[in-house]
C-alpha cells in the first residue's frame, strides 16, 4: 500500500491551507486531499472574508483571491434597543461566496502538487508508523478538516460538543443588500444570543441569514426564517438557496490528542463565538496543521501546543466577551462605546474577525457606557464577595 506523507480529509479553507503549507515547506511531498464533494460546491456560510485572511494566503503564495468578491469596507451593527455603530473597518473586508472561494483554494493546492480525490471518508485507524483511511489509503499523518460533523474527530474519540458550544445558522441569497459595501448585523434580543446578517455579494444581491449562538435556543427552520424576516424586512432569501448548518464554537473544550492525526477548522471547533466567523480560524489552523503534520509521531503534541500559542489568549478573551455580550446591557454598552470611540471599534473588529484580544483601555471605555444601575449592582456584588 502506497503511503502518502500527508492525507488531508476535507478540502475547505482549512484543508486546502494545510495541503498548501505542507507543499510550501516540503515541495514534492505526497499530499492527498480528500473531499466528499466535487468542486465547485456550495457551503453554508456568511461569505464574509476578513482582510487578515488574505495576509495568511499571501504567506502561502496564493494570490488573486482578493479579486473574487466585492469590497465591504464598512460595518453596521445595531442592538435591539437601537444602539448603532456604523464605521469603516480598519482594513477592507470582502464578500466571496464559498462556492468560488473554496474552489480557488483547492485549485491552488492542486497546482502546488496536491492530489485531489472525491471520496467520503468513513473510517480511520491508527497503526504503527501510519494512519489508514477506509482500509485502503495510508499516510504518515492525517489532517482532519472535515467540518462540524467531522468523521476524523469522532474516530479519535472526541466527546460531542455541548449545546451551549454549538451555534445553528440558516443562510440564503436575497436579490438586494441591506446596504451596499457594508456588512450589516442586526442583533435579535431573544432569550439566546442571536443575530441576522446581510452581506453584499457580487451582482448587487446579498448573503442573508440568521444565527443562534447556543443550540438550546434554536427553533424550527420556519421559526428561524420568521426571525430573519423581522430583523431584515424586505430581504427575503430565495428559498432554493436556503441552507442550515451547525457551527462548533471555540468555547467548546479543546481536543487534540497526541499522535499522527491533527484537527483544523470546524473539526477543531474553530468558530468565533462572538460573530460566527470561521474562515480566518480555518485558514490559520490549517496552516499550523500542515506544518505540524510533517512531525510524524510527534505531530499531535506539536499541533496542540502550536494551537494554544496561536489561539489560546484569543479564545479566552472572546469566550469571556461572548458570555458578557449575551447580557443586553453589556451589548448596548459595547456597541455604544464602539460608536463613540474608534479604538473600541477597531478592537471589536479584530476580536470578531481575526485573532484579536481586548485591551484594558477598550474594556474600560465599554464599562463607562454601562447604565449607572448596572455599575452600582456590580460594585455591591463585588463588595459582598470580599466580606
Mean pLDDT of 119-127: 96
Over 90: is that where the pLDDT of 373 sits? no
Give the pairing type, strands 182-187 and 124-127.
unpaired
Over 90: is that where the pLDDT of 375 sits? no
Long-range contacts of 220-225 (CB under 8 A, 24+ apart): 221/170, 224/168, 224/170, 225/170
Q: Which domains are seen in the chain, by residue range?
A: 3-67+96-161+253-317 (3.50.50.60), 163-248 (3.30.9.10), 327-385 (no CATH)
pLDDT band at 381; cut points 50, 70, 90: very low
Mean pLDDT of 46-53: 96
pLDDT tens for each residue of 145-173: 999 999 999 999 999 888 888 999 999 99
| Least confident interval from 93-107, 171-185, 219-233, 364-378 | 364-378
Whole-number average pLDDT of the chain: 93
Q: Which residues contact 142 (CB under 8 A, 6 or more apart)?
A: 6, 7, 8, 9, 124, 131, 133, 152, 260, 261, 262, 293
pLDDT tens for each residue of 289-346: 999 999 999 999 999 999 999 999 999 999 999 999 999 999 999 999 999 999 999 9
pLDDT band at 386; cut points 50, 70, 90: very low
Nearest to 259 by CA among 298, 291, 287: 298
Q: What does the DSSP assignment read for 99-140?
A: HHHHHHHHHHHHHHT-EEEE-----EEEETTEEEETTTEEEE
Over 80: is that where the pLDDT of 384 sits? no
Mean pLDDT of 358-373: 89
| Least confident interval from 170-179, 210-219, 223-232, 236-245 | 210-219
Over 50: is that where the pLDDT of 383 sits? no
Q: What confidence score (pLDDT) does residue 374 get?
A: 52
pLDDT band at 253; cut points 50, 70, 90: confident
Q: Could you tell me the pTM of the whole model?
A: 0.94
Amino acid at each position: 500500500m502506497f503511503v502518502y506523507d500527508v492525507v488531508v480529509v476535507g478540502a475547505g479553507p482549512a484543508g486546502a491551507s494545510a495541503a498548501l503549507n505542507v507543499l510550501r515547506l516540503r515541495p514534492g511531498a505526497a499530499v492527498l486531499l480528500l473531499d466528499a464533494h466535487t468542486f465547485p460546491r456550495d457551503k453554508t456560510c456568511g461569505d464574509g472574508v476578513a482582510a487578515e485572511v488574505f495576509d495568511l494566503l499571501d504567506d502561502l503564495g496564493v494570490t488573486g483571491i482578493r479579486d473574487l468578491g466585492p469590497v465591504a469596507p464598512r460595518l453596521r451593527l445595531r442592538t435591539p434597543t437601537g444602539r448603532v455603530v456604523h464605521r469603516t473597518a480598519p482594513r477592507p473586508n470582502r464578500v466571496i461566496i464559498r462556492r468560488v472561494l473554496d474552489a480557488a483554494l483547492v485549485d491552488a493546492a492542486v497546482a502546488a502538487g496536491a492530489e485531489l480525490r472525491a471520496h467520503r471518508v468513513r473510517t480511520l485507524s491508527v497503526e504503527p508508523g501510519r494512519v489508514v483511511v477506509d482500509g485502503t489509503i495510508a499516510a504518515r499523518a492525517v489532517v482532519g478538516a472535515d467540518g462540524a460533523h467531522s468523521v476524523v474527530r469522532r474516530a479519535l474519540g472526541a466527546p460531542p460538543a455541548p449545546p451551549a458550544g454549538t451555534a445553528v445558522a440558516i443562510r440564503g441569497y436575497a436579490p438586494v443588500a441591506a446596504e451596499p459595501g457594508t456588512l450589516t448585523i442586526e442583533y435579535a434580543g431573544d432569550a439566546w444570543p442571536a443575530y441576522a446578517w446581510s452581506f453584499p455579494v457580487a451582482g448587487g444581491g446579498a448573503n442573508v441569514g440568521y444565527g443562534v449562538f447556543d443550540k438550546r435556543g434554536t427553533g424550527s427552520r420556519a421559526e428561524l426564517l420568521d426571525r430573519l424576516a423581522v430583523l431584515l424586512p424586505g430581504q427575503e432569501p430565495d428559498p432554493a438557496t436556503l441552507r442550515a448548518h451547525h457551527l462548533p464554537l471555540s468555547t467548546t473544550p479543546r481536543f487534540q490528542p497526541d499522535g499522527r492525526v491533527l484537527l483544523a477548522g470546524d473539526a477543531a471547533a474553530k468558530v468565533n463565538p462572538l460573530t460566527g466567523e470561521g474562515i480566518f480560524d480555518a485558514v490559520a489552523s490549517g496552516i499550523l496543521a500542515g506544518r505540524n503534520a510533517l512531525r510524524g509521531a510527534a505531530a499531535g503534541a506539536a499541533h496542540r501546543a502550536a494551537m494554544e500559542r496561536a489561539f489560546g489568549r484569543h479564545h479566552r478573551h472572546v469566550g469571556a466577551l461572548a458570555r458578557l455580550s449575551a447580557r443586553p446591557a453589556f451589548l448596548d454598552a459595547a456597541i455604544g462605546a464602539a460608536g463613540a470611540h474608534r479604538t473600541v471599534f477597531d478592537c471589536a473588529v479584530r476580536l470578531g474577525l481575526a485573532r484579536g484580544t481586548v485591551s484594558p483601555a477598550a474594556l474600560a471605555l465599554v464599562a463607562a457606557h454601562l447604565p449607572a444601575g448596572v455599575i452600582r449592582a456590580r460594585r455591591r456584588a463585588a463588595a459582598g464577595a470580599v466580606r
